């Protein structure tokens, strides 16, 4: 769950030697003029990278639900089981050009870029910058902790009170608040609790670590739970279901919500049905 904003040039030129080659090929412009290795860069100048048609990254043709999209920003519903970005082809980042329209703004990014991360096994709302302005502005909002994210989760055990957890993670201040939505019976786990979680900070695996630290591990968490918390074939019961932020261009309030994943509602209904059936037969 850490803030993420790769440099625009790094998307196509991952090394200093590559940048030097691009300069020699005349791919860099400064205020519209071709830059050379000895060109001085001054504050306020516009630096552009000319796209090399022979150096386009491969697009992963993987369909993703687009929740919101305009010329500046987009929000997608990330499926569980796929990483946002990394040194592999099958990522959300590689699939974005297949799912989003290229921005017509002057500062359009060469590729739409996620501005934060979700864990591999976490599903839900992921914000995407389509312009450099959006990338910078949303990055500031994450740094200033003004973007509000809400998650839905099911944990093992009977949670009895709403709580704010402030246990540091890797010696860094960390804060997670949660609200109880429902507690229900389970034949296997005795009690399961459906929570709405609001992290104020964005440490890696923060929600998973904090809930496990108070003995309420997330259902399906193989890393911070135990063998009894695993729900075979259903993965991790954690989803980002609401995001509030200021639009990076208009600065109007934007609220994006999605429904809780079907596996959540199906599990709750199934556990209640099994409990009732067992008690009727007893």
- In terms of C-beta distances under 8 Å and separation of at least 24 residues, what long-range contacts does 242-246 make, across chains too? 242/125, 242/148, 242/149, 242/150, 243/75, 243/125, 243/127, 243/147, 243/148, 243/149, 243/150, 244/147, 244/148, 245/127, 245/138, 245/141, 245/146, 245/147, 245/148, 246/137, 246/141, 246/146
Residue the block writes with tokens 């939505």: 181
**Ramachandran assignment for 44, one of left (phi > 0), alpha (psi -120 to 50 degrees), beta (any other):** left
Name the catalytic one among 10, 52, 107, 119. 119
The mean of the pLDDT values for the chain is 90
Task: Tell me which fold the domain 148-281 belongs to.
Answer: Pseudouridine synthase (3.30.2350)
State pLDDT tens for residues 160-207.
Answer: 999 999 999 999 999 999 999 999 999 999 999 999 999 999 999 999
* Pairing between β-strand 123-131 and β-strand 73-78 as defined by DSSP bridges: antiparallel
Number of residues that this document lists for the chain: 282
Share of the chain above pLDDT 90, in %: 72
Give yes or no: 119 in active site.
yes
Share of the chain above pLDDT 70, in %: 91
State pLDDT tens for residues 77-102.
Answer: 999 999 999 888 999 999 999 999 99
Residue-wise DSSP of the chain = --B----TGGGT--SHHHHHHHHHTT-EEETTEE--TT----TT--EEE---GGGPPPP-----EEEEE-SSEEEEEEPTT--SSSSSSSSHHHHHHHHSPPP-STTEEEEEEESB---TT-EEEEEEEEEHHHHHHHHHHHHTT-SEEEEEEEEES---S-EEE---BTTB---EEEEEEEEEEETTTEEEEEEEEEESS--TTHHHHHHHHTT-PBTT-TTTS-GGG--TTT---EEEEEEEEE-TTT--EEEEE-PPPHHHHHHHHHHHHHHHHHHHH-
pLDDT at 103 over 50: yes
State the pTM of this model: 0.82
pLDDT value at residue 50: 74
pLDDT value at residue 150: 98
Q: What is the pLDDT confidence band of residue 40, given thresholds at 50, 70 and 90? A: confident
Spatial CB neighbours of 23, under 8 Å, sequence gap ≥ 6: 35, 36, 37
Q: Give the closest residue to 107 by CA, choosing from 126, 146, 69, 134.
A: 134
For the chain, give every domain's residue range: 9-143, 148-281
Mean pLDDT of 122-149: 96
State pLDDT tens for residues 42-73.
Answer: 888 888 777 666 667 789 999 999 999 999 99
């Amino acid at each position: 769950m850490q803030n993420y904003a790769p440099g625009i040039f790094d998307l196509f030129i991952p090394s200093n030697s590559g940048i030097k080659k691009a300069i020699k090929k005349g791919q860099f412009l400064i205020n519209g003029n071709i830059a050379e290795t000895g060109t001085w860069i001054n504050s306020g100048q516009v630096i552009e990278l000319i796209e090399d048609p022979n150096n386009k990254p491969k697009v992963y043709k993987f369909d993703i639900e687009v929740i919101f999209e305009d010329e500046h920003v987009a929000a997608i519903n990330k499926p569980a089981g796929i990483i946002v970005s990394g040194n592999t082809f099958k990522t959300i980042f590689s699939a974005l050009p297949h799912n989003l329209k290229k921005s017509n703004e002057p500062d359009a990014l060469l590729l739409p870029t996620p501005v934060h991360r979700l864990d591999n096994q976490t599903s839900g709302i992921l914000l995407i910058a389509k312009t450099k302005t959006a990338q910078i502005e949303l990055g500031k909002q994450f740094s200033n902790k003004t973007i509000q994210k809400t998650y839905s989760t099911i944990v093992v055990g009977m949670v009895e009170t709403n709580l704010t957890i402030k246990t540091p993670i890797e010696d860094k201040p960390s804060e997670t608040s949660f609200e109880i939505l429902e507690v229900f019976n389970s034949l296997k786990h005795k009690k399961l609790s459906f929570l709405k979680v609001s992290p104020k900070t964005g440490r890696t695996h923060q929600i998973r670590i904090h809930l496990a630290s108070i003995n309420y591990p997330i259902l399906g968490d193989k890393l911070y739970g135990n063998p009894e918390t695993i729900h075979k074939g259903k993965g991790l019961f954690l989803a980002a279901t609401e995001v509030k932020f200021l639009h990076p261009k208009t600065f109007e309030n934007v609220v994006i919500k999605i429904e809780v994943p079907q596996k959540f509602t199906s599990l709750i209904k199934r556990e209640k049905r099994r409990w009732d059936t067992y008690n009727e037969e007893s």
